[in-house]
Structure formats: structure tokens, C-alpha cells
Amino acid sequence: MNIVLQGVTKSFNGRPAPLVALDPITLDVTTGEFVCFIGPSGCGKSTLLRLIADQIPATTGDIHLDGGPPSVARKAKQIAWMAQNPALLPWQTVYDNVRLPQRLNTASNHGERLAPEDLLRTVGLAEFAEAYPSTLSGGMQQRAALARALVTGARLWLMDEPFAALDELTRETLADEVLRLWQTFRPTVLWVTHNIAEAARLADHVVVMSARPGRILATVAIAQPRPRDETAPEIVAVIRRLRAVLREGQNTSGSNRTLAANHVNLRQL
């Protein structure tokens, strides 16, 4: 799914003045890309995902998903959402939790739906289909939430720090699982993270955002083939570049200067 944002801003009502969460954001994401967003806490990364998901309206600007408004993609169940909290229903089995979106949306995506049992097998939970969420570890609950997010066959995956609450090894394992599923189904993925190395390991492009009000400081393209070794010189160079842009943004926060978005290819580093 192609994503185009043109001059998108978001402000929230507040006293004595509105809270500006996002300065004008202009962005074009090609169908099938894996894009990571990094930036300081409170810079509007999650707000941006919520705008694209049609959870909240933009204050100004336009958002187009495959040429149409986000509401069309949302109603067609083409947007999968996953956050830190797996939000599984405790009184439902793992299988029933995964199948829930299909039960609630019986008229959508008949030709694209994925069988819950196949997804559970894919994420390594086949033998826990009849278990209840309370009996699962945090990582297993997130696997179940991942399967539930994908069960409608959505073409856009919005991932808001989905594994941030997990230990490092489990987080890396599940991130690799998402990467493998992305390579299989080829949706467009927007992934919010605070982990710079994770972004460099996963993304086709990394979008670096400034402190609030959030704006795009840079878009860094990563040409290195996957799987990527975070200790490889090319990836180390990307990580250094991302950190440098973040530091530059912090040094200029609160000033009236606007950093021009720059596009960096790994081959130029």
C-alpha cells in the first residue's frame, strides 16, 4: 500500500494554547517498503501512526493510502495495528483471540484472509491454540497479538513499539519474525521504535523526527541486504549517522531554525 502525506499537522486542544504535536509532515512511502520512525519521546511518532490508521483526524494536510483517504482502507480492514500492549481478551483462548477480527468483520477480505491455525503455526503457537492469555509469557502474548493483527490479510502494518516492553533477546527474536513475515507477504510496514540499532537492522528507510512539535529531520535509506549484522561496518555507519541526526535535532530544538530533510543512501556513507 502506497502512503502519501502532504503538509500534515496535528494539534490538540489545550490551555492556555493548543498543543502542537506535529509540524507539517510530507512523506511518500512506496508499496511494500519497511519504514522505521525514530525520535525523542513525545515527538509525535505514535500520533503520526494514529493519523494514518484513521484513529484521529489531521488538523491540516492530506493523507492518501493507495490514492484514497485512510477511512477507506480502515473500513476495508487493510490496516493492521500492533502496539506494546497485546490487549488479548483474557476469557478467550489464543485461537479465539486470533480469530476475533474475522468474527467481527464477516463481510471483509474473504479472498485475502489467513487461517488462524496457519498463523498460529507461523508464529510458533500452534500447540497453545486452546490456552488462555494468562498462561502465556509476555513474548508469547505478543506472538498471539501479531497473529491477530495479520489475520485479515491487511496490506498495511502499523507497529507502534510492539516489543519495547520485552527483554532484548525476545524483542530481537520477534522483530526477526516480523521481518520474515514481511518478506513473505510484502505489506507496507511503518515501525515506531526508540532502538536505533533495531531500525538500522530492519528498515529500508529510517525516518528521523525532531522533538515536539515533530517534523522530519532526515530520511536515511539503507541499501544493505538482509539479514544485517549490526556490527558490520556499513550498518555501524548507518547507526552513527542516525545518532548524529538525532543529536543535531536536539541541539537545535527550541530554536526557530528548521533543518532541511536530507536523504542519505548507505552507499554514500
Residue percentage of the chain with pLDDT more than 70: 90
Contacts of 192 (CB under 8 A, 6+ apart): 36, 37, 45, 46, 49, 159, 160, 161
Point out which residues pair with 35 in neighbouring strands. Answer: 190, 205
In this prediction, residue 253 carries a pLDDT of: 62
Across 239-265, average pLDDT = 67
Across 14-29, average pLDDT = 91
Cβ atoms of 143 and 125 closer than 8 Å: yes
| Residue 196, C-alpha cell as written in the block | 536505533
More confident residue, 14 or 95: 95
Q: What is the CATH number of domain 3-78+155-165+187-268?
A: 3.40.50.300
> Would you list the domain boundaries of the chain?
3-78+155-165+187-268, 85-154
Cα 106 from Cα 149, distance rounded (Å): 16
Across 58-73, average pLDDT = 97
In this prediction, residue 107 carries a pLDDT of: 54
In order, the DSSP letters of 38-91 are: E-STTSSHHHHHHHHTTSS--SEEEEEETTB-HHHHHHTT-EEEE-SS----TT
Across 199-212, average pLDDT = 96
Residue 190 phi, psi (nearest 5): -115, 120
Across 66-88, average pLDDT = 93
Cα 112 from Cα 102, distance rounded (Å): 11
In this prediction, residue 113 carries a pLDDT of: 63
What band does 208 get if pLDDT is binned at 50, 70 and 90? Answer: very high
Q: Which helix (H) or strand (E) holds 192?
A: strand 188-192
Point out which residues pair with 25 in neighbouring strands. Answer: 8
More confident residue, 23 or 105: 23
Using the predicted structure, report yes or no on whether residue 60 has a pLDDT greater than 50: yes
Cα 191 from Cα 183, distance rounded (Å): 15
Cα 173 from Cα 163, distance rounded (Å): 10
Across 30-54, average pLDDT = 96
Q: How crowded is residue 59: how many other Cβ atoms within 10 Å of its Cβ?
A: 15
In this prediction, residue 112 carries a pLDDT of: 56
Using the predicted structure, report yes or no on whether residue 2 has a pLDDT greater than 60: yes
Using the predicted structure, report yes or no on whether residue 106 has a pLDDT greater than 80: no
**Range in 31-40, 211-220, 236-245, 253-262 the model is least confident about:** 253-262
